[in-house]
Amino acid sequence: MPDGRLHELLDGYRQAARGPRRRALLLALAIAALALLAGHVAEVDLPRLWEHLGGFLGYFDRITALESGGGRVWTDPAEWFWGLKKWGLLLADTLLIAYVGTALGAIGGFVLSFVAAANLVPNPWIRGTARRFLEFCRTVPDIVFALVFVIAFGLGPVPGVLAIAIHTMGALGKLFSEVVENIDRKPVEGAVAAGASWVAVVRFAALPQVLANFVSYALLRFEINVRQASVLGFVGAGGIGQDLIEAIRKFYYNDVSAILLLIIVTVMLIDFGTEKLRHRLIGAMERGA
């Protein structure tokens, strides 16, 4: 390419790039200013971070080094997972907490979703109240509910289940009501035209359309709730979190890594399983449609 033409093109490119570039620079400056302010409020100091970065990596070194001395934890799985039986039971309890919480929350969300759906409840006051209630339930973090419930119901898995159930009800109620609002009217009209009662319309025209979606959302929520249930024990609401917080606070390094590994593997397995299930559900839904 001749030099003159090249210069022309380059100048054109610089001209075009100048505006967006200046805006990007301004944005970067604004973000940097905000970050400095936030850093001041959050008591960040970089020397301390530098000093402790080694500490963080050292933490992973310590939790993977056998406490009895000699070698890494994986060279002696029997000692590493000495509490496998206890932790396995606690983990099963954690899954059960997540399951029962999801199930109760899904039932509540199922009922309220029909009240919050615009195409089924024309009264804006009832609908609005139901929606605000659901919004409240899903915006307050479940661990806050757990903190309050622990005081009301006493320590143990009951407050954990209820906290998860309330939060799940808020989240699923919203998703469910959106599904109900988006159903195809044609089957409904068909059922009405054939002389079906209201219950029959819901059962044979509305439910088949929404059920697969409902189950899919509930499974997704179960996945999230397993993670949540693993930390509810921090505030005394049952599950494996109780043992984990004790291990971290009391510096039982090997227990920390063992429990963390168990949680990570369980969460991954659950994610994998529910994803498979959801894909099958969606496949079945598309075949049915």
Two structure tokens written together for 17: 């790039």
> In terms of CB distance, is 80 or 222 closer to other proteins?
222
> In terms of CB distance, is 89 or 119 closer to other proteins?
89
Binding of other proteins by 283 (CB under 8 A): no
Binding of other proteins by 93 (CB under 8 A): yes
Which residue among 163, 191, 220, 235 contacts other proteins (CB under 8 A)? 235
The three-class DSSP label of residue 72 is: strand
Q: Which amino acid is at 15?
A: Q
> In terms of CB distance, is 121 or 140 closer to other proteins?
140
Question: Can you tell me the distance from the alpha carbon of 123 to that of 28, in angstroms, rounded to the nearest whole number?
Answer: 48
CA angle 91, 271, 167 (to 5 degrees): 70
Binding of other proteins by 17 (CB under 8 A): no
- The DSSP output letter for 135 is H
> In terms of CB distance, is 58 or 77 closer to other proteins?
58
Of residues 195-214, which lie at the interface with other proteins (CB under 8 A)? 195
Place of tokens 């960040």: 44
Q: Which residues contact 44 (CB under 8 A, 6 or more apart)?
A: none
* x-marked contacts with other proteins along 62-91 as a string, rule CB under 8 A: ------------------------------
The length of the chain is 289
Angle between helical axes of 157-181 and 142-153 (0-180°, round to 10) = 140
What stretches of 32-88 adopt beta strand conformation (E)? none
Phi, psi of 258 (to 5 degrees): -65, -45
Q: Tell me the site size for other proteins, rule CB under 8 A.
A: 64
- The DSSP output letter for 235 is G
Angle between helical axes of 241-249 and 84-116 (0-180°, round to 10) = 130
Task: Name which of 233, 61, 83 is nearest 147 in CA terms.
Answer: 233
What stretches of the chain adopt beta strand conformation (E)? none
* x-marked contacts with other proteins along 243-282 as a string, rule CB under 8 A: -xx--xx-x--------x--xx--xx--------------
* x-marked contacts with other proteins along 161-180 as a string, rule CB under 8 A: xx------------------
Contact predicate 102/164, CB 8 Å: yes
CB of 122 to other proteins, least distance (A): 26
Binding of other proteins by 19 (CB under 8 A): no
Which residue among 31, 118, 207, 282 contacts other proteins (CB under 8 A)? 31
Positions in the binding site for other proteins (CB under 8 A): 20, 31, 34-35, 37-45, 48-49, 52, 55-56, 59, 93, 96-97, 99-100, 103, 136, 139-141, 143-144, 147-149, 151-154, 156-159, 161-162, 193-195, 227-228, 230-231, 234-235, 238, 244-245, 248-249, 251, 260, 263-264, 267-268
